[in-house]
Structure 1
């Protein structure tokens, strides 16, 4: 089986849920989140984790995981901006099946934290 490496930028709450799964799956989407979007490259994941997750929640983390390449063929790559802004759009109702195709574990490869000091 061939595998593809994908990335997912997450905040602290999603990271805690991934850890609670034994680093095996992504948590279900919230009702206002109809799409799960893993991204195709680490640079884009870093950009989201650092520039969006940190201001929103105090930290941002880049996760990396392998997934069955054959399964991924059902999802078209979506470009949502510049040359590095490629992601997959996985419908929320498909996420459990998506999780079943993850090979190995989800790992954290980079973390970013707010420089703001609480007093």
Structure 2
């Protein structure tokens, strides 16, 4: 029996559209200037990024929630990048396909900030 861990990801509208195109099952490949994929461990931190960074950068921000196989995640140490609530995992971009393969179920939007974007 496999257990999962809930993770969160703040994204802007372009990344959200690519995730939706995957059937809400995978994150898109990183851009060359983005060597790390960083899901975060709590929704409050994801909200801060989506609201305070994604909205000014692209007009809207979204918080995504998803489950990942906990045994697989054990290979990525928790990184603290500010205060204690700023916990994230650093997944090398080259390992994102393997990470996506360990997502259990669908990725879902839990929060929306800024301009409304259709999620049909």
TM range (shorter): over 0.9
Alpha-carbon distance between aligned partners in 1 of 2:84 and 2:90, rounded to the nearest angstrom: 17
Alpha-carbon distance between aligned partners in 1 of 2:86 and 2:98, rounded to the nearest angstrom: 24
1:83 positional shift: 1.4
- Which residue matches 2:118? none
- Which residue matches 1:10? 11
Structure 1 unaligned segments of length 5 or more: list them.
115-119
Q: Deviations over 1:48-88 (max 9, x none)?
A: 00000000000000000000000000000000001110000
Q: Which 4+ residue blocks in structure 1 deviate beyond 3 angstroms?
A: none
- Which residue matches 2:100? 99
Aligned length: 114
Name the SS of the counterpart of 2:49 in structure 1. helix
Alpha-carbon distance between aligned partners in 1 of 2:21 and 2:14, rounded to the nearest angstrom: 11
- Which residue matches 2:69? 68
- Which residue matches 1:117? none
